Chain A
Amino acid sequence: MTMKIEKIIRLLDAKIVCGNHRVSDDISYAFSSDLMSDVLTLDAENMLLITGLANVQIIRTAEVAEIHHLVIVRNKKVSDDIVELANELNMILIESPYSMFKASGILYANGLNPLY
């Protein structure tokens, strides 16, 4: 089962930081991690990354790992240069006030598949 980004936004009480054009994208899997080294070992398409980090390395990691959809939890704010880079790389960034545990739990309970 896939889940649309717009549904993920609704479920997580989230807002889009950039990448509005991706709201209708279908997501097949989600993976929650603050460990970018772990994200770099993944091999999945249409995967949502849920993270508590808000630094430029989450964008660089997503770029090399071919991830285009990111949720930043706990209302962390990304800086303008991070938004600019994410825009340039055609990614959608979403901010949710929920914790990583709560965000992951809600999406899982609503049928979004885990990667492992």
Chain B
Amino acid sequence: MIELRFILEGGDFDRAGTASSETKKILKQLNIDPKVIKHTVVALYEAEVNIAAHAYRGEVIITVSDHQILAVLKDEGPGIADINRAMLEGFSTASPKVREMGFGAGMGLPNMKKNADVLEVESTPGAGTTVRMIFNF
């Protein structure tokens, strides 16, 4: 079993994606199916962008076991008031700055759901959000 940890800063768009990039390199070294790698890093990148866009800081923990990749992203931030609404395609509370970067169209969580075998989102408004994703192989 392999565990990877990354610290993320809210608002840091220059570094958003570096955890996904490092994870991709390691999953490749582990000879995991390229399709599984793509699903994992696309979902992970969306989640990283969400933390950069909305949270103050966050942590990513990736655990790779024999037939599964587990990604847990835990952030301190404003949280999500209505998770069901946030899961709808097109619903977004992103700032104009985030939209200028090419994100914030309300496609992040739906795309994470599409790529992960399991997606769980827990949030406490005013405290933060935890996202758990499982990718089976």
Contact = CB atoms under 8 A, between A and B. Distances in A.
Interface of A: 34-41, 43, 51, 53, 55-58, 60-61, 63-66
Nearest to B107: A37
Contacts, number: 71
Interface in B38-97: 38, 41-42, 44-46, 49
Contact of A55 (B34, B38, B42, B102): B102
Interface of B: 13-14, 16-17, 20-21, 24, 34, 38, 41-42, 44-46, 49, 101-105, 107-108, 111, 114
Contacts of B20: 60, 63-64
Nearest to B14: A56
A57 B85 CA distance: 26
A55 B38 CA distance: 22
Given A37-B108, A37-B111, A41-B114, A60 B17 contact: yes
Looking at chain B's contact residues, the main secondary structure is helix
29 contacts: A35-B102, A35-B103, A36-B101, A36-B103, A37-B102, A37-B104, A37-B105, A37-B107, A37-B111, A38-B107, A39-B102, A40-B42, A40-B107, A40-B111, A41-B107, A53-B102, A55-B13, A56-B14, A57-B13, A57-B49, A57-B101, A57-B103, A58-B102, A60-B21, A63-B17, A63-B24, A63-B41, A64-B41, A64-B42
A57 B34 CA distance: 22
Contacts of B13: 55-57
A61 B34 CA distance: 16
Contacts of B101: 36, 53, 55, 57
A61 B45 contact: yes
Given A37-B103, A37-B107, A40-B111, A57 B42 contact: no
Contacts of B111: 37, 40-41
B105 A40 contact: no
Contacts of A36: 101-103
B38 to A, nearest CB: 6
Nearest to B48: A60
